[in-house]
Structure 1
């Protein structure tokens, strides 16, 4: 019996492979932060140490991100992604073994968390370049929304399973699953092909970075939003990876409760992705930034000492805001940034957006000591709200419009897939 699968015109081979591989790796990635936090708590440490381990992952992610972007614009992006996935599979497997053996030393947790961040620093710019390169301008909103639906659906399952498994078994097994997901994703991405003409390499990586920097600072809407997220992500990450797990452990029932809350965040992302697949607002960044106003709701709910159900609702609404922003942001990048610069611009975007995340997590514990846990959460909530309002002072953020679609990098017609 022959089964014929027909894909829509915008879902070319690279798009399908990258989406499927991102779903697979997303299952493990959503579970791993929850498992890591509870592995640290289970080893007898507290809020500060959870923050230090999280910061150890984000420091190399920030430091190496620009190099990763330049590398992804010089060499085939799919090759860079496969190498990064293999490296992450090895580092997560080592971390899992360390946790399963029992009583892991803090220095080893820090070192392996840092290794994971280093791999992601090379993966992230290459991955964003691949998915944007694989999307035609005339179908960008729909294709990117479907991509987010798939990846966020994986986060729902990953976060829920991560919390449940970390409670029912050992967090080390969750980390081992993350390593396996990275290995499978690497294997899948070997099927990617280079689409379009990635330009010849310049004289040096430094030259590549300078070119990318000139392009980055020449667009006020671009760097204004990156500065906004530099501060906002520090607060959001502190809430999701430090304060949330600690509060869940204290009064909500532990890892399973926080896994449910993180799953609600992803459900919100999926629900809003359905909306964004159909809705194509003219002012893409103005609408996208409207979603940013929802980012501070989880911190507000935790600061008020609300029970699990309202916290889950706040996480859901925050997830809605995430996808509303991300789809508009990616459409703007696809529309405004030359294809040969996508990975470098993505790297500057990620570098700026992630720059203060290590400080946010490392200082989460000391901030709670000084301000009290509730005071620190109020500071996070008000920071998110203030930044969402402040970026609207930039005219280009309010005024950037969706352009008439141009035929740039159109996808090949889909081929039918057969199976016996």
Structure 2
């Protein structure tokens, strides 16, 4: 661990935030596998039912993320994050109880998925705006890399253990652990004891949204990459939530093998975060977008039923690319966008990325049932390549320099 990282962790609020993210994402690792197999394990459930539940979870993120950005720029970001964690605790705790008592059904899980989905649009814009409040500008890239390292390590452990937990004792216990992780995260964020930092403004919420839109739309590099990630995120969510578990159920090896495949991506993110903090490209966005060309490779390999070891290797490489892209993207936004508008711009970023996700989740299950999951996976890989090439047509993406 470098001296900069040690100094960051000696910063008490940042250290608590680091721990909160690590523990919360540990639970998310359990939930990512458990949710799919919880739905598929219900009597008579199909891939269409899984699509419905995951779409219900994704839709609130799309509908409320802009509101979350406005609230985060007007009030205490840490308190908003605590509220989001409480929502996650209630939603996943209720899911776990229903599954463990045998009372779960697709409609009830879909309703609780809506509540769980509300946590995301409140938490993530607040988090994006909070990091620059805790660390000096010169350490933003190291801070983002450290947080990504915590996220990837926890996701790696959570995914690695989730397959075992789901296989041995069922998905209910995995979702219960996720609920507990939200509780611990809320306690740690509360322990930061940051000033309320309520931002006084005479603007209405709509005026704040318009101002945030001006900040977002005036930067071609922002909306060009967000458009790319709109397609890419829809593909990634469809693969990890529906198409991947279907491939696992139909010859890949079931929940345990799928958990290992996903965990290898997290391992790549973890290894990549060690190097991402050292990246100093003169054109950070050009490098970031080029890295995303690794994303469609494992999708295509899943589609053609490649050997498991080859899928695992490609997922690891995809994780390396994800780490580099994430750190360069977050750091560029935090450096280029004024702090008072950062949460709103981050919410537009999330809104754009999530625009197609609910529709993709809703329709990918029926499409896979009609045309086969392999054919749909290959099409998804092709769409991801086209979206990446499209982003590279933006002059600002190619030319934006760290020198300004």
> Counterpart in 2 of 1:29?
28
Structure 1 residues 370-409: aligned runs within 5 Å: 370-403=370-403
> Counterpart in 2 of 1:212?
212
| CA distance 1:360–1:172, shift in 2 (3 Å) | same
Mapped to 2, the partners of 1:145 and 1:162 lie a distance apart of 25
Please report how far the alpha carbon of residue 164 of structure 1 lies from its aligned counterpart in structure 2 after TM superposition.
1.5
Mapped to 2, the partners of 1:39 and 1:315 lie a distance apart of 24
> Counterpart in 2 of 1:294?
294
Mapped to 2, the partners of 1:395 and 1:197 lie a distance apart of 38
Mapped to 2, the partners of 1:268 and 1:52 lie a distance apart of 30
Return the TM-score normalized by structure 2.
0.95
SS of equivalent to 2:277:
helix
> Counterpart in 2 of 1:95?
95
User: Residues 77 and 194 of structure 1 are in contact (CA less than 8 Å); yes or no, is this contact kept in structure 2?
Assistant: no
Please report how far the alpha carbon of residue 118 of structure 1 lies from its aligned counterpart in structure 2 after TM superposition.
0.9
> Counterpart in 1 of 2:272?
272
Please report how far the alpha carbon of residue 197 of structure 1 lies from its aligned counterpart in structure 2 after TM superposition.
6.2
User: Residues 236 and 296 of structure 1 are in contact (CA less than 8 Å); yes or no, is this contact kept in structure 2?
Assistant: no
Please report how far the alpha carbon of residue 369 of structure 1 lies from its aligned counterpart in structure 2 after TM superposition.
3.4
Q: Deviations over 1:2-36 (max 9, x none)?
A: xxx99744442222111110000000112202101
User: Residues 163 and 255 of structure 2 are in contact (CA less than 8 Å); yes or no, is this contact kept in structure 1?
Assistant: yes
Structure 1 residues 162-173: aligned runs within 5 Å: 162-173=162-173
| CA distance 1:184–1:383, shift in 2 (3 Å) | same
Query: What stretches of structure 1 of length at least 5 have no aligned partner?
Result: 405-420
Please report how far the alpha carbon of residue 297 of structure 1 lies from its aligned counterpart in structure 2 after TM superposition.
1.6
Mapped to 1, the partners of 2:187 and 2:54 lie a distance apart of 27
Please report how far the alpha carbon of residue 244 of structure 1 lies from its aligned counterpart in structure 2 after TM superposition.
0.7
| CA distance 1:47–1:6, shift in 2 (3 Å) | closer
SS of equivalent to 1:200:
coil
More displaced, 322-331 or 189-198? 189-198
Mapped to 1, the partners of 2:196 and 2:383 lie a distance apart of 41
Query: What stretches of structure 2 of length at least 5 have no aligned partner?
Result: none
SS of equivalent to 1:341:
helix
Please report how far the alpha carbon of residue 170 of structure 1 lies from its aligned counterpart in structure 2 after TM superposition.
1.2
| CA distance 1:367–1:14, shift in 2 (3 Å) | same
User: Residues 62 and 354 of structure 2 are in contact (CA less than 8 Å); yes or no, is this contact kept in structure 1?
Assistant: yes
> Counterpart in 2 of 1:14?
13
Please report how far the alpha carbon of residue 115 of structure 1 lies from its aligned counterpart in structure 2 after TM superposition.
0.4
Q: Deviations over 1:352-403 (max 9, x none)?
A: 1011111111111122234322211111101111111110100110111113
| In the alignment, structure 1 residue 38 sits paired with structure 2 residue 53 | no
Mapped to 2, the partners of 1:397 and 1:29 lie a distance apart of 32
Please state which structure has a larger fraction of its residues in helix.
2
> Counterpart in 1 of 2:367?
367
Mapped to 2, the partners of 1:293 and 1:22 lie a distance apart of 27
Mapped to 1, the partners of 2:177 and 2:23 lie a distance apart of 11
User: Residues 75 and 196 of structure 2 are in contact (CA less than 8 Å); yes or no, is this contact kept in structure 1?
Assistant: no
What is the number of equivalent residue pairs in this alignment?
Answer: 400
> Counterpart in 2 of 1:340?
340
Q: Deviations over 1:275-310 (max 9, x none)?
A: 112221111101111211011122111111113211
User: Residues 69 and 345 of structure 1 are in contact (CA less than 8 Å); yes or no, is this contact kept in structure 2?
Assistant: yes
SS of equivalent to 1:279:
coil
> Counterpart in 1 of 2:260?
260
More displaced, 136-145 or 92-101? 136-145
| CA distance 1:87–1:197, shift in 2 (3 Å) | closer
SS of equivalent to 2:191:
coil
Mapped to 1, the partners of 2:249 and 2:382 lie a distance apart of 25
Please report how far the alpha carbon of residue 195 of structure 1 lies from its aligned counterpart in structure 2 after TM superposition.
7.0
> Counterpart in 1 of 2:235?
235
| In the alignment, structure 1 residue 111 sits paired with structure 2 residue 111 | yes
Mapped to 1, the partners of 2:196 and 2:341 lie a distance apart of 13
| In the alignment, structure 1 residue 184 sits paired with structure 2 residue 218 | no
Q: Deviations over 1:333-357 (max 9, x none)?
A: 1110111111111111001101111
> Counterpart in 2 of 1:326?
326
User: Residues 66 and 348 of structure 1 are in contact (CA less than 8 Å); yes or no, is this contact kept in structure 2?
Assistant: yes
Q: Deviations over 1:77-109 (max 9, x none)?
A: 000001110121011100111111125221101
